[in-house]
Structure 1
Amino acid sequence: MATPQSATTIEEKVEGFTKQSIAEHNSAFHALVDEGKLANVVTLTARNGKVINCDAYGVHNVSATPSVPVKTDSIFRIASMAKPITAAAMMMLWEEGKWALEDPVCKFIPEFDGLKVRQDDGEPVSQESPMSMKQLMSHSAGFGSRRDYDDLRNGTLQDMIDTLASQPLFFQPGKAWRYGPCVDIQGYIIQKLTGKSVDEFLQERMFKPLGMEDSGWVLPESKLARLVSNHKYDKSLEKLVAVDLAGTYNNSTPNFVAAGGGLMLSTVQDYWRFSQMILNGGEYEGKRYLKAETVQMMHTNVLEPGVAVRIGPYDWKGLGFGLGFAIVQDPAASKTTSGFQSYFWGGAYGSWFWIDPIRNVVAVGFVNNLRGSTPAGMPVLRELQAKFIESALNDATE
C-alpha cells in the first residue's frame, strides 16, 4: 500500500467541506491505486480561493525498485490541458488589440488564404466565409482531427502550417467542431505577433508572475527526479507497467513547442494557480492578467446552433465551447455532476480540471496513463471527483 501525502491540514469543516467528506474523497482515489488500476493520483480541491485538500497517493514508477512515492509537487505530463493556458495567452494579445474575433485567420497566416473545403462526392469547394479567429479559438475553423493528418509535430511550426495549407479543410468553417491542430496554430500566431515562442511568452507573461515554477515544455535536470512515469497495462491487461520515455525531456527547447499540449509539464498546484486566476476573473494575488469581461467571454459558448462538441465517435451532449473551455450547459444531458456553467478540459494522459463559477470551486487531478483516465473499467476520474465535491457541498447546505 502506498503512503498518502497531503499538503493541507484537514480541519473539521472548511468552506463547506467536512473532514469526513475529504477523507471519503481521498479514500476512493487511494482504492484505485491499491486495486492496481492506477499507479498514482494527485488531486486538489479549492473553494473560495482556498485549497481545501491536496492529496497524493501511489508511486512514480510501478516498475522501479525501490519505489518513489508520488508527492503533491510531482511533475506530470498534462498534454491538452495546455490548451486553456494557450487560450488565455491569446486573449492577452486580443486585449492588446493585436487580433479581433472576426478577423480572418489568413490575416495572420497568408498560407491559409483561399483554402478549399473537401466534399464527399466531388471537387473541393470554396469556403462560404473565411475561417475566423473566433472559430480557430473554438475548434470550429474547418480543420480535421489530429488523426486526419500525418504527425504535424514532426517538423517545425512552419512545416505544420505548410502541411495544413496544402490540403482542403474538412468542413465549412463554423459548421462543425473537430478536435485537431487549432491550438498549435494559435501557438504559431503567438510567435508571429510577439516574436517569441509560446513557451517564452507564457514564461514571461503567465508562468513566472503566477508562480507556476514547474510548468513548461523543458524539464531541467534538477527536476528530473520529480517527473512521474507514464503507465500502461501489459499484454495480459491485468498489470500496470511503466512506459519508458527516455530522451523526451532535456534542457533544450524542443523543435516543435506544441501550444496544444504535446508534452507540456506541470504540477497540480501550478495548474490550480492558473485556474484560480481564471475563476477570479483574470486576477490572482493582486495582479491582473485578463479583464473580467474577457474571462467571461472565454467560458461563454460561441458555437453555432446545432454544432456538437465531438471527440472521435462521441457527441458530448449538453456541452458548449467557448474560447478555450468546454462548458456544461445541461448537466443532465452531459451526464455530469460538475455543475451548470462549469467549464473544463483534460489531457490525453488522464489529467483533468474544472472550474465551477457558481460553487466557486476549482478541482484538479493528475494521473499519467496511456489510456487516459479510464483504463481497466475504471470510473471517469473527473466525474468521480465531481460526485464527491457536489455531495459534500450539497450536504453542507442541508
Structure 2
Amino acid sequence: MRGAKDLFFEANAQVEMHRWFSGRVVLLGDAGYRAAPASGRGASQALIGTYIVAGELAAGGGHARAFAAYERETRGFVAEHQHLGREGADQFFLGAPPQEGLDRTTAARPDVRPIREGERTNAGSERNRRTNHDDKETRIMVIGGNGFSEQGLRRLREVLARHVDSGKIPGLVALVSRGGQTHVETLGTMRHDGGAPMRRDTIFRMASTSKPVSIAAAMVLLDECRLRLDDVVDPWLPELSGRQVLKSIDAELDAIVPARRPITVRDVLTSTFGLGMDMTALGTPILNAIFERGLTPNLPTEVPEQDEWMRRLGELPLMHQPGEQWQYQISSDLVGVLVSRVTGQSFEDFLRERIFEPLGMKDTGFHVPAGQIDRLPTLYAPDPVTGEFLAWDEPEGGRWSKPPAFQGGGGGLVSTADDYHAYFRMLLNGGVHEGRRILSRPAVELMTTNRLTPEQNAARTALARNAVHISFGQGQQGGWGLGMAVRTYRGDYAPIGQFGWDGGSGTSAYADPANQLTGILLCQLGYSVPDPAHLMSDFWTTVYQALED
C-alpha cells in the first residue's frame, strides 16, 4: 500500500496544467487514492477516479544581503528623511554602507540599525514567533506621487498576518509599490515548524511566475530582428518540422492528419503551437505520452537536457493545429530552447546578460548557489485530506540546489521580491530601467496586451468560468499576452489591463498600468490545499483597497 506523500508526488506528474487549477485537489474517494497504481495510463485513470489534481509545484528563488530592521509607518517620519534623496534613503532604510552625510542621521536614531545575520528581536509570544511582528520589515518610501493609505496598509498587514497566524501559511514576503511608495511585509518563518524568519531577501521557487520574466529573452531577439513573429521555427527547431496532428484530443497517437501549416515563432510565443498541458485531457494517450517522456516539471525524474527534451517532444503529434488553441506550459519551456539555439548561448546566460544583470536581478536564476542555500525555504505540498505539511522540496540537496539539466522558462526560476519588483517596474515604465532601455515599448505592449482571438481562448475561458469551485476563482483574467495573463474584463478588484501570473508554489506577481501599481506575494506552499489561493485572493483585495488617490 502506497503512502499519501508518495502518491501525491506521483500525482504531480499530472498537475502542470492550466494555472487556475493549480494544485487544487478534490476528494472523490480516499480508498482509490491510496491504492492507485504507480505509472502509465492506469495511474492517470486511477488518479482521475480518485482526485482531480491540478496545479504545479515547479519553482524558483534568488539571493541578497540582510536589510535594516525598522518599522516607521508614518508619513512624518518618511518626510523627515526626504532630504537624503532616493539613493540616500535606500541606503539609510536598507542598512547599506552609509555614504557621506548619512552617518549623522543614523547615529541620531539608535533604534534603527542593520539586522545582524541570524538575529531575531524579542521572540515573545507564540503569535510573535509565528508572524515575526517584531522582526518584520516594513519599508515605506515616499518620493512623490500618490500611493497607499496608512489604514489600507495596516489592513493589508493584518490580513496577511491572519493567514500566517492560522498556521496554514508558514511564512511569506509581500511587496507592493505605487509611484514613489514601496511597502514590504515579511511574516512567519522559513519552515512550518519554525526556524529562521522570512526576510526581504529570502529566495523563492517562482514556479509559473517564471513565465512573465523568461519570455523577455525572446522579446530581445524580436527587437533585434534576430527573430520575426511569423518566421517558421524549423531552422532552429527541426524536431518540430513536418508535424502531424491528432484527429481528436482523445485519439490514439497514430490517429493523425498532416498539420495545415508549419509552426511559427508567433505560435510558440502565444502558447498556441499545438501542444501543451490540458486539464480536460487527463488520461488520454497524448497526455500520458507527455508525462512518460518527462516533458513537464514535477515528475519524480528530472526533465532531460534541451536537445534530448526536443527529441522526445518531436516524437509526439500535436493536439491541435498550429495557431488554433491556447495551451499551457510546454510553449514556455520551448521558448527557452528557441532562444538558446538562436543565440548559441544557454538560456540562462542570455537571460542574465540581457535581462537580469541590466535590471540588477542578482538573485534570479535556475538554481541557488551553495553559499546562499540557507536563504531558500522548504517547499511544502500539504496532504490534501489531513493538511499535514509534506516537504516537496528541501533546500539542501533539493532540485534547486544545483544547476538543472533543463533550464525551463515555464517554471524553473528562483528569485526574490526585489528582483521581480525591478522587472515589473521596467514593464510599467515601457521597457526602461533607471534610464536604460531593456525592451522596446512595442515589445512590452505585445507582451502585456491580449494576443488571443476569442476562438483561440474559448476553451481556456470556459474552463476558468466553469471550474471556480475548484480553482477558487483564479485564472479568470480573460486574456493572455506573451508569457502572462492580461485582464480584459473587470471581475474583481483588479482593473482591465493588469498583467502578470501566479505560480503553483504559492507565488504571484502582477503590474497594473492604470494605477501604476506592482504587487508581489511570495510563499512556498503548493496548491494541494486551498490556502495559498485564499492568501493570494486576500492579498490582491487588500492591495487594491489600500490605494489612495
Q: TM above 0.5, one fold?
A: yes
Secondary structure at 2:174 match in 1: strand
Q: Does 1:174 align with 2:306?
A: no
Correspondence for 1:256: 406
* Alpha-carbon distance in structure 2 between the residues aligned to 1:176 and 1:388: 35
Shift of 1:10: 7.2
Distance 1:84 1:250, change over 3 A: closer
8 Å contact kept, 1:301–1:320: yes
The residue identity in structure 1 corresponding to 2:208 is: S
Question: What is the number of equivalent residue pairs in this alignment?
Answer: 385
Shift of 1:314: 3.4
User: Which of 502, 505, 508 pairs up with 1:349?
Assistant: 505
Correspondence for 2:5: none
Secondary structure at 2:456 match in 1: coil
Greater shift, 192-201 or 231-240, is seen at 231-240
Shift of 1:104: 1.6
The residue identity in structure 1 corresponding to 2:246 is: R
Distance 1:240 1:23, change over 3 A: farther
- Give CA deviations for 1:166-208 in whole Å, capped at 9, x if unaligned: 1110011222111031111111111111111111111111212
* Alpha-carbon distance in structure 1 between the residues aligned to 2:384 and 2:257: 46
Matches within 5 A, 1:1-398: 1=127, 2-4=131-133, 5-9=136-140, 15-48=146-179, 50-63=180-193, 67-120=195-248, 123-145=255-277, 148=287, 149-150=290-291, 151-152=294-295, 154-234=303-383, 237-245=386-394, 246-248=396-398, 252-262=402-412, 264-308=413-457, 310=460, 313-314=463-464, 316-317=475-476, 319-332=478-491, 336-371=492-527, 375-376=529-530, 379-393=533-547, 396-397=548-549
* Alpha-carbon distance in structure 1 between the residues aligned to 2:316 and 2:399: 32
* Alpha-carbon distance in structure 1 between the residues aligned to 2:138 and 2:329: 36
The residue identity in structure 2 corresponding to 1:60 is: M
Secondary structure at 2:234 match in 1: helix
Larger Rg: 2
- Give CA deviations for 1:251-293 in whole Å, capped at 9, x if unaligned: 753211112223x211111110011111111001111101112
* Alpha-carbon distance in structure 1 between the residues aligned to 2:462 and 2:489: 21
Distance 1:63 1:380, change over 3 A: closer
* Alpha-carbon distance in structure 2 between the residues aligned to 1:204 and 1:273: 16
The residue identity in structure 2 corresponding to 1:370 is: G
* Alpha-carbon distance in structure 2 between the residues aligned to 1:307 and 1:261: 23
Greater shift, 91-100 or 206-215, is seen at 206-215
Secondary structure at 1:331 match in 2: coil
The residue identity in structure 1 corresponding to 2:148 is: F
- Give CA deviations for 1:271-319 in whole Å, capped at 9, x if unaligned: 1001111111100111110111211111122212322273995354551
The residue identity in structure 2 corresponding to 1:74 is: T
8 Å contact kept, 2:175–2:185: yes
The sequence identity of aligned pairs, in percent, is: 28
Secondary structure at 1:307 match in 2: helix
Distance 1:377 1:348, change over 3 A: closer
* Alpha-carbon distance in structure 2 between the residues aligned to 1:238 and 1:169: 38
Distance 1:51 1:261, change over 3 A: farther
Cα-Cα RMSD: 2.4
Distance 1:233 1:286, change over 3 A: same
8 Å contact kept, 1:342–1:356: yes
Unaligned ranges ≥5, structure 2: 1-126, 296-301, 466-474
8 Å contact kept, 1:62–1:242: no
Greater shift, 99-108 or 241-250, is seen at 241-250
8 Å contact kept, 1:187–1:198: yes
* Alpha-carbon distance in structure 2 between the residues aligned to 1:203 and 1:215: 8
Shift of 1:100: 0.7
So what's the TM-score if we normalise by structure 2?
0.66
The residue identity in structure 2 corresponding to 1:6 is: E
Secondary structure at 2:364 match in 1: coil
Distance 1:376 1:80, change over 3 A: closer
8 Å contact kept, 1:127–1:173: yes
Greater shift, 146-155 or 298-307, is seen at 146-155
8 Å contact kept, 1:39–1:231: no
8 Å contact kept, 1:179–1:311: no
* Alpha-carbon distance in structure 1 between the residues aligned to 2:488 and 2:447: 14
8 Å contact kept, 1:144–1:180: yes
Secondary structure at 2:514 match in 1: coil
Higher helix share: 2
Shift of 1:216: 0.6
Shift of 1:21: 0.8
So what's the TM-score if we normalise by structure 1?
0.90
* Alpha-carbon distance in structure 1 between the residues aligned to 2:462 and 2:204: 25
Secondary structure at 1:114 match in 2: coil
Distance 1:46 1:128, change over 3 A: same
* Alpha-carbon distance in structure 1 between the residues aligned to 2:387 and 2:477: 35
8 Å contact kept, 2:261–2:322: yes
8 Å contact kept, 1:129–1:173: yes
Shift of 1:218: 2.4
- Give CA deviations for 1:39-84 in whole Å, capped at 9, x if unaligned: 1111110112x342111100001235xx211011111100121211
